[in-house]
Structures are given as structure tokens and as C-alpha cells.
Amino acid sequence: MAADTRILAEIRNGQVTGVTGSELLELVRKARTFIASRGLKQGDRCGLLAANSIRWVAMDLALMAEGLIVVPLYPRQAPAELVAMMKDCAPSLVCCSDAALRDGIAQAWRESPPQVLFDEMFAGVEGVSFGALPVGNDSPVTIIYTSGTSGEAKGVVLTASNVGFMLDRTAERLGELMSGSRSGASLGSQGQDRIFHYLPFTFAASWIALLTFLKRRSLVTINMDLAKIASDMRTVAPDYFLNVPQLLERMRRAVDEQLWQTGGVAQAIYARAKGAWARRQEKQAKAGDALWLGLANRLVFPAIRKKMIGGNLKALICGSAPLNAETQLYFMMLGIRVLQVYGLTETTAICTMDDPNRVEVGRVGPAIPGMEMRLGENDEIVVRGPNVFSSYWNRPKQTAEALREGWFHTGDQGEVNGAGNWRIAGRIKNLIILGSGHKTSPEPIESAIAKNLPAAQQVVVVGNGRGYLTAIVTGSVSPEKVQAALDVVNPELPHYKQVRAFVVRVEPFSIEGGMLTVNGKLKRDAIAAKMKDEIDEMYGVRQAV
């Protein structure tokens, strides 16, 4: 592929601008001259505090090329949390995209290391040269701080061999996805994959995806405004892109709401086709179902696909958390494949990836080639292989607890079927142990309630050490609607898994409020502490179900 082929772009207000491969390398060169002028030593840590952008990518590549360890920092995180991470890893330099981010750190940490803005770094320094640096397989290239759902975030050290191994696996799987499409007219004029990317590069999976796209010389268009994801997706019309379940759930609700408001023939066909599809999955098809599905496939579903994502989509790739099987089936009904991946920061983002040709709904695919996965005590998933991290930064005790006899203990519960496809059940640390001794994973119950309560933002089941389970529901939802959802869910559960009381909190839990991790997972301990009075009240006055 020619050096003048565009490989990175940004989309702002529907307008797309970008850089070619040679232009990206020039940005990297300028940043490297600045970095080299600072006298930093190979192995020094450097913070990278910025939102997604072309310059973020160039800075990340420049820092790694100079033999420095990149510490990506999520710009939406509270300054106090960012400072705690930086104090932990002691960076020699912090690279900030703008003055507001720089000033926020300076105010929260007066003894902070030097902070330099992108504008200065990308101006370059004349007369400074640099050369290739030796990088061994065991050389750390990044420290990515984990979400910290149950405590202080830990810095995961990933090495050159971790990253190299993973890029080979992810590039191979994307090659399988796109096989047979190379001659298709849907590919860009340069024969590139077209990618839409909105997930923060500070997340391990998002970063690995980015590097994989660059390795494949794809055209990656970066969303610059999360409020415009829907319109930007249509503008880019990607071949595939990385998602989290929350977005797919939102897309599904948006289609339902829009067609309900529009009404007419399209809505009538859509509603009947949905019912026919559900009956087909349950092997209870009725006469006429094939007719409605046929009409929808010709008249309704293609229009939904095009309006939702454009006309080129090969698949949606979903990770971060288990995807509701019903949502996966919904997109399959529309003719859109959803491929799932599973992994943790400690496994260089990936443990399993769906095979595009053998997808099983509700499962996250087989273990990637070259690594091992098995079940340990309490059905905990344990893994080993070249993708497993080397250590937690400055935390030998936690490292020893996580890495035992060569196996990384993920803390996730799962199961694997005869075909080698895995399913994720929940987190062991999230297990609720009732006073009766019954053990319950809250995630499946929360998912079932949310499925029957689409207006809810979050559902959090609690009850550790108590006599029964209760729930916190956030969003603009009435108590009557919550009770109606419980009336549907509870009869399907054994007595000790039934939710017997609830409280509604209008304001959703947020990252800024300290109740969610940076990738949107519940901080259950923090929520329990914040909602202590409300939780105690639920156990003081038991509601009838």
C-alpha cells in the first residue's frame, strides 16, 4: 500500500479529515525529536493524557519508539484518581492534549512531573536526531491501569512480546472476517478495511484494536464527539468496528422507539417479524411467520441496517462485558453478525474471539490459538500463554496472588462447551452470599430485570450477608414498572435468587460520580457504601413481591 494512502481520519460535525501513512510518520518524527531533547532514559514512564485523536496515536507511537513506557490516562477520570495512578508509576513526563487537562492535574498535584502540551511536542525540535533502540521481548511497552471495580486501580505491565503475540492473533481473525470481501465493491478505493472507532484508546482492547488496524493498513475514522456516534457511523459506513453491549442495547431501543412513533405499514411488518423471529428461535413457529420474515427481509430490515450503520457492515465486534443473548439475536434478525470477544487487561485484552464462521449466540468464542484456558475452583477461568501480563507495577503481592503456578486467575466465572466455545457467567468477587449460605451471581439477575425494564439505566442487585436479595434501579422509571418487571422475572428463579425489594434512584451512577469504572462497569463496593441508608431501609421494611 502506498505511503500516500490515508490510514487515519477524524470526523467532526460530519466532516472527515485525515492523514496518510507518510504524514503520520512525520508527526511521529517531530514528537520523537522533542522527546529525545528531554534526555529521558529508555524504560522511563510517560503519561499520555488526552482524548482519542490522530495526535494521540502519533504520540503513543513516538513514545514507544523512544523506548519509553506509555501510561495512557483516561481524560474523563477525576483528577484525584489520575494523580493516584501517576504517583504510583512516577512518570518522568506527562503529555497533555490541552491546557485544561494539564491545569487539572497541576491543581490536584503540586509536585507533579513536567507536563507538556501536544502543540509544543508536535512542533518538533531542530537539530535533534534519534536512532532505532533495541527492544527485547520482555521489555515493558505500556502500563495500563485496571478498572478497579472493587478497590484501587492496579497498573498492568504489558511487554513487547505480549503485544506482538496479540496483534498476530487479532490480525489473523480480522483477516478471516474479511476473507472473500477483497474483490467486493464495498471496500475503499485502496482495498482497505473501513473502521469506525469511538472507544477510548486508554482501554486495552481499544488500543490493541487500533494497533491491529494500523498493522492491517486499514482506514480508521475516529469519532470525536460521543453525542454524534449514530450520525458518524452512517457517515463512515464501516466494514466492522469495536463495540460495548451498552451501545448495541441503545441502538436496539432506538429502532424500536422510532418505528413505534412512525407507525404505518413498516411498523406493522416489523412487529410481526419480531414475533415470528422469536418463535423461530424457540422452535415454535406458526403459519404465516415465514411470510412476515420474508416481507421484513425485503422491505424493512435493509432500510434499518442502512440507516443504522450504512450499507457495508460485515460484523459488529463486541467486548468489555457479556452481551445479552436476546440483543445478539436481534441483530442477527436484521442480518447483522455480532462477534464477541472476551479478555482482561492482564491478558493483553483478549482471551477468546468468535470464529466468524461458527458463532454461537450467548458465547464469546474459543480461546485464541497459542494460549490455554481452563476452569479452576468455583468455575473460575484461569489462563496461561504469551498474552498474559508480566506483573502489576510495584505490587508483588497482588502479582503473586493473580499469577499462580504459571496460570493467571481471572476472577471470572465461566463454562465451556464441547465445541470449545466459552460463556462468561459473572465475577467471583461479585458473588452474593446470603445469610442462608446460598451463593448467587448478580449479573444474570440484573440482566433479566433490565431486559423487562428498558427505561432503567442500571440495575444493581445487593444482599451480601442478608436474608434475601434486593435491587437498586436507576433512571426515570416508576416503582410500578419495576414491580411489574420483578413479577415477570421472579417466578422463573429459585426462592433465594428472587429480588424481594427495590429502591429507585433517578440519577444514574456515573464515572464522574465515582460509581462506575472508566469503561462503565459498576463499582459495587462504592455503590453499597453510597446507598447504605437506602439498602438498610429495604431490609428494615420488606416489600411484597
361-383 pLDDT tens trace: 999 999 999 999 999 988 899 99
**307: CB partners within 8 A, 6+ apart:** 234
Read off the amino acid at residue 34: F
Residue in the block written with cell 433517578: 506
Predicted local confidence at residue 2, as pLDDT? 61
Using left for φ > 0, alpha for ψ between -120 and 50, and beta otherwise, residue 325 falls in alpha
Read off the amino acid at residue 434: L
Predicted local confidence at residue 322, as pLDDT? 76
Helical residues (DSSP H) of 131-263, grouped into ranges: 160-178, 204-215, 229-236, 245-262
pLDDT along the chain (545 residues), means of 10: 85 92 96 93 95 97 96 88 92 95 89 93 88 81 80 88 96 88 44 92 95 96 92 92 87 87 90 92 89 93 88 89 86 93 95 93 94 93 97 96 94 92 86 79 89 91 90 94 94 89 93 80 88 89 43
What residue ranges define each of the domains in the chain, with the CATH number in brackets? 6-134+182-239 (3.40.50.12780), 256-310 (no CATH), 431-540 (3.30.300.30)
Predicted local confidence at residue 149, as pLDDT? 53
Distances (CA, A) of 223 to 53, 262, 374: 8, 29, 37
Predicted local confidence at residue 196, as pLDDT? 96
> What is the length of the chain?
545
Distances (CA, A) of 258 to 104, 232, 454: 41, 19, 15
Distances (CA, A) of 275 to 75, 127, 253, 431, 449: 43, 69, 16, 35, 20
Work out the burial of residue 454: count CB atoms within 10 Å of its CB; fewer than 13 is exposed, 13-18 middle, 19 or more buried: middle
Predicted local confidence at residue 254, as pLDDT? 86
Helical residues (DSSP H) of 237-338, grouped into ranges: 245-262, 264-281, 289-299, 301-309, 325-333
Predicted local confidence at residue 185, as pLDDT? 39
**121: CB partners within 8 A, 6+ apart:** 30, 31, 34, 35, 59, 95
User: How far apart, in whole angstroms, are the C-alpha atoms of residue 355 and residue 462?
Assistant: 36
Closest to 289 (Cα-Cα) out of 269, 264, 312: 269
Number of other CB atoms surrounding residue 313 within 10 Å: 24
User: How far apart, in whole angstroms, are the C-alpha atoms of residue 457 and residue 249?
Assistant: 11
Q: Give kind and range of the element (H or E) at residue 184.
A: none
Joined grid coordinates for residue 407? 496460570
Helical residues (DSSP H) of 91-219, grouped into ranges: 99-108, 118-121, 160-178, 204-215
User: How far apart, in whole angstroms, are the C-alpha atoms of residue 316 and residue 295?
Assistant: 24
User: How far apart, in whole angstroms, are the C-alpha atoms of residue 508 and residue 338?
Assistant: 27
User: How far apart, in whole angstroms, are the C-alpha atoms of residue 261 and residue 13?
Assistant: 27
Q: Report pTM.
A: 0.84
pLDDT over 70, % of the chain: 96
Closest to 487 (Cα-Cα) out of 500, 477, 504: 500
Q: Give kind and range of the element (H or E) at residue 221.
A: strand 219-223
Predicted local confidence at residue 188, as pLDDT? 47
- Three-state secondary structure call for residue 206: helix
**56: CB partners within 8 A, 6+ apart:** 48, 50, 97, 201
How do residues 27-37 score in pLDDT, each as one tens digit? 999 999 999 99
Residue 158 CA to chain centroid, in angstroms?
A: 18
